[in-house]
Every structure is written in C-alpha cells, then in structure tokens.
Amino acid sequence: MQSVETILLLVVLATVVATFARRLSIPAPSLLVVAGVVVGLLPGVPEVRATPELVSLVVLPPLIYAAGEEMPWRDLRAVWRPVTVLAIGLVLASAGVVGLVAAFVAPLPASMAFVLGAVLASTDPVAVSALGRRLSLPPRIQVLVQAESLFNDATSLVLFRLAVLAAIAGGAVSFESVASEFVVLAGGGLVVGLVVAGGIWLIRRRTVDPVLETVIALISPYSAYVLAETIGGSGVTAVVVCSVVLGAQTPKLTTAHIRLQIDAVYGTVIFILESAVFALIGLQLPYLVRALAGSDPGWPWQALVITAALIVIRFLWIFPLGWIMQLRRGNRRLNWRTSTVVSWAGARGVVPLAAVLSIPLLTDDGQPVPQRDLVLALATTVIVITLVAQGFTLAPLVKRAGIARTPAEARKEQEIANMRLAEAGLAHLEQLYDLETVPHEVLDRARQGLLARIDHGSETPEEPPGSSAATVYRRLRRELLAVEMAELTRLFDDGDIDDSTRRRLQRTLDLEDARLGDDP
C-alpha cells in the first residue's frame, strides 16, 4: 500500500508543480527537483527510495525514446563528427577528472572515486531534452547537445561497468577488456535497435487500427531496452537507435488520425513519467542525506567541488572543439556565444541516477561496498545542482548570448512555408482543371480556400451542400493534403525549414485531415 501511496504522491506533486512551472514560464524539471527536495524535508513525509529497476526499466526507455524520436536525421548527419568527439572523448575526460577530484576531496577509495566519475561522466538525454524544449536554439545547436546526451551513454556505461568490476570484484582492467566491453555494449545496442526498429516497421505498415498503433508505440522502447539488456548490450543505445530510425519513418507509416492519437497518448505518458522522475530525484536527496548523518559532514562542499570540476572540464573541452569546427568552415574566430551555451547545457539526470542506484550492496566476498552511501549522496547532489543551477540559468544565458531564434523569426518561417504548401496545392489544382476529372465548382471552392491561406495565412474549409458534392470535395481535399505533405517533406529535406516548423505544419495538416472525417 505504501508503494501505491508513494506513486500517487509523485504524480500529484509532479502535476501541480509542472502546471505552475508552465504558468511561470520556468523550466519544469528544475522546479520539480526543488519541490521534491522541499517535500522530502517535511516532517512526516515517508522516505522515498528509488530502485534501479523502477528508474532504468519503467521510466527510462519511453523518455529516451521520445527524445530520440524528436531528432531529425537530416540534422543528425550534419553534427556526427562533434557528437562523436563529445560522446567518447569528453566522457573519458570527465570520468577521469571527476575520479581524481573525488579521490582528492572525499574520503573515497580510488576504485569508488572512479565509479562516481563514470556515473557522472555523461550528460542526460531526458534532462537535456526537457530543458531544451523551452529554448529556441538554432537547429544545429539543439541537435548537437541532444545527440551528445543520447549517444554518450554507451561510453559512460562501459566505464561504469569496468569501474564497478574493479571496486566490487577486484577485477583487473585492461585495454582488451575495455574494447570488448565497448563493442558488446555499443554494438549490441546498435544491432538490437536496428532489428527492433525493422520489426516494428513491418508491423506498423500493416496496421491501421489506432488502438493497436498506440499500443505498439508504447511497447516499442521497452522491447528494444529489454532485448538489448538480455544479450548484454546497452539498452539505452538500442532505444536511441530504434527511436531515431522509426522517428524518420513515422509520416510514412501512419495516417493523420493515428498520428494525432499517438501524440496525445504518448504526450500524456511522457508528461507523467518525466514529471514524476524529476520529483523523485529531489525526494531521494533527503533520504540519502539522513543516511550520511554523522559519518561525513563535509559531503556538501565535496559535491560542489565535483560539480565545478564537471563544468570546468566541459568548458575546457568544448571551447577548443568549437574553434576547430570554426577553422574547418574557414573562420579563424571562435564563436564564444555558441560554445558557452553548449558548455552550459550539460545537465545530469535520470541515466546517472539509474546507474548509481545499481551499484551492488556487497562485494564478491560478502563485505559491504565501501562508501556506497557517500557515492550515492554525492552523485544525487551533483545531479540536483546541475538540474537546478543550469536549468534556471540556461534560458537567460541563451537570451543574453543572442543565438536563439526570436518568435517573429519562427512565425515568419512558418508563414512562408505555409504559402509554399498552398502554392503546391494550387499547382495541383491547375492540373486537375486541365484534366476535367473533378467538377469545376468543387475545384473553385478548394482554390478559394488555398488563396485565402496565401492572403490571410489561415483557412477554414467548408464542405459544399449535398452528399455527392461533399464526398467529391472531401476526396479532393485529401488529395491536396497529400500534395502539401509531400511539399512539406521537400522543404525540410532541402533545409528551407527546421524540424519544429515541420512538426507544427504537419500537425496542422493532420488536424485538417481528421476534420474531414471518413469517406462514406
């Protein structure tokens, strides 16, 4: 019963706080973490202990899947080089620096210090995606920070497993073991992700039932995660690969009605899970602090030093990388604004929490793992600090740096794209006039609607009276919507619009398609 009450507490707390966050225009993850800490400190509140199974198996897969599905393949191809450098090089550097700093400032054995370094080495895809939704970053920068957070988990998980092996089992770590572990984790996750994506693609292209489509969409991330973990691969990598592949194919696999239903259901699930998990991170901290009571009073400043080390190494890594990227474009001047924003967009969150909770309680010889509670407290505190400090300050930093797209620019791009879609529809109508396969009065009504969109930017189509004419008009509108959808895809593929504009216009077309109803 207490577990049920805890879940209800999380859902209610998360919903209330997230609602206030939207009204106050502040990042919900940061406010949820603060609220979780405050509630956890209140007297009489039951202790909330997150389990690794709850975080990694129940919560993590759908959140990562949603983040990966939002990533356009076009933009991902453009940033694969810096993403590779960050996902491997920066993770290794962060793990090493944090391990050394933790061993120096905290009473941790070297093995456990490097376990902590491996836990905190990678940015978190859930936190980065949740914080990034409020920022109107240029597409290239948005994809860079999001792709880094999605693809750096394989590297950090390899380091984490090897560090745990050294700390728990006393295993020797060699280059061969590191290489083989990385191949199994990353390679296994990649293969499983592709296989699951292929299987789901075959199923969804033959499914027309909205309920079944929604169920398939909900179980897709769990299928990829569980299968990859079963064979020893990275479940996170499998979910990322599966989501990126299927996300690019979604417009071809589903109808407008199915897309609208999946978006509504999946949006609700993601809101609940995302809100609950950030509140859970905050609720965890008071419990861990009480567990440390009297044993190590210096842990708060130790966590601050470790957080500072994480931030400094990220700046020291990204600024030279940004300068090298500028040189490749023939520009010798460093774009410090972009480098500063990318450096600051490195919050930790759900993935590090799942990793640190999975540290075993006992070593192979049956002894308690040394300083496990301190590692959990330090890792959770660093996660909370990054979510709060970077979460509340990232939007003002982006605004001050002047790299965000203004609302006026976004509206202008959408208006131009909307005109291009209407012009494509008009061109198709002209062909139908010549073919004389559709009554001219129906063509004239559709033409008036498209001209109204060009002149006023909006259209409210009305069906002509009479069932026969209405049926012809409905079929014509669907034919025009298919033409506009093809033009929308072409605009995106050519780089004329970004992904957010494409998604907004696609939803508009889907809503219009749904309003037409079913053909008799």
Note the pLDDT of residue 248. Answer: 79
Give, as one character, the DSSP assignment of residue 372: H
* Residue 212 structure tokens: 């079944």
Q: Supply the DSSP string of 127-173, one letter for each residue.
A: HHHHHHTT----HHHHHHHHHHHHHSHHHHHHHHHHHHIIIII----
Note the pLDDT of residue 1. Answer: 39
Taking alpha carbons only, the member of 362, 357, 347, 360 closest to residue 377 is: 357
Tokens 């909006």, located at residue: 458
Entry pTM? 0.83
- 197: burial class by Cβ within 10 Å (0-12, 13-18, 19+)? buried
Instruction: For 60-88, write each residue's pLDDT tens digit.
Output: 899 889 888 878 878 888 888 888 889 88
Helix (H, G, I), strand (E, B) or coil at 362: strand
Q: Supply the DSSP string of 170-183, one letter for each residue.
A: -----HHHHHHHHI
Helix (H) or strand (E) run with residue 340 in it: helix 336-344
Taking alpha carbons only, the member of 260, 157, 270 closest to residue 213 is: 260
Instruction: For 488-520, write each residue's pLDDT tens digit.
Output: 988 888 888 888 888 888 888 888 888 876 654
Note the pLDDT of residue 452. Answer: 77
Give, as one character, the DSSP assignment of residue 54: I
Q: How many residues does the chain have?
A: 520
Question: What are the residue boundaries of the structural domains of the chain, listed by start?
Answer: 2-404, 408-515
Backbone angles phi, psi at 362, to 5 degrees: -125, 150
* Euclidean distance between CA atoms 103 and 97, whole angstroms: 10
Helix orientation angle between 407-435 and 467-493, rounded to the nearest 10 degrees: 130
Backbone angles phi, psi at 452, to 5 degrees: -65, -35
CATH of domain 2-404: 1.20.1530.20
In contact, 119 and 353? CB cutoff 8 Å: no
Note the pLDDT of residue 464. Answer: 47
Give, as one character, the DSSP assignment of residue 123: -
- 343: burial class by Cβ within 10 Å (0-12, 13-18, 19+)? buried
Q: How many CB atoms lie within 10 A of CB 45?
A: 14
Q: Write out 295-339 in H/E/C secondary structure.
A: CCCCHHHHHHHHHHHHHHHHHHHHHHHHHHHHHHCCCCCCCHHHH
Taking alpha carbons only, the member of 189, 97, 191, 199 closest to residue 150 is: 189
* Euclidean distance between CA atoms 316 and 354, whole angstroms: 27
* Euclidean distance between CA atoms 81 and 322, whole angstroms: 12
**Helices (H) and strands (E) in the chain — how many of each?**
25, 0
* Euclidean distance between CA atoms 376 and 451, whole angstroms: 62
* Euclidean distance between CA atoms 471 and 450, whole angstroms: 19
Note the pLDDT of residue 123. Answer: 87
Note the pLDDT of residue 465. Answer: 47
Give, as one character, the DSSP assignment of residue 55: I
* Euclidean distance between CA atoms 199 and 102, whole angstroms: 45
Note the pLDDT of residue 318. Answer: 92
Note the pLDDT of residue 116. Answer: 93
Q: What is the pLDDT along the chain (520 residues), one digit of tens a residue?
A: 355 666 777 777 778 887 777 777 778 888 888 888 888 888 877 777 777 777 888 888 998 898 888 788 788 888 888 888 898 899 999 999 999 999 999 888 888 899 999 999 988 877 777 776 667 777 778 888 888 888 887 788 778 877 887 777 665 556 666 677 778 888 888 999 999 999 999 988 888 788 888 899 899 999 999 999 999 888 888 998 999 888 878 777 777 888 888 888 888 888 888 878 888 888 888 888 887 766 677 888 999 999 999 999 999 999 888 888 777 766 666 678 888 888 998 888 888 888 888 888 777 677 777 888 889 989 999 999 998 998 888 888 888 888 877 778 888 888 888 889 888 888 888 888 777 777 777 787 888 878 877 766 555 455 444 456 677 778 888 888 888 999 998 888 888 888 888 888 888 888 888 887 665 4
Round the CA-based radius of gyration of the chain to a whole number and report it.
25
Backbone angles phi, psi at 368, to 5 degrees: -60, 140
* Euclidean distance between CA atoms 450 and 430, whole angstroms: 12
In contact, 205 and 254? CB cutoff 8 Å: no
* Residue 395 structure tokens: 């939007």
Give, as one character, the DSSP assignment of residue 87: I
Taking alpha carbons only, the member of 309, 282, 308, 486 closest to residue 384 is: 282
- 455: burial class by Cβ within 10 Å (0-12, 13-18, 19+)? exposed
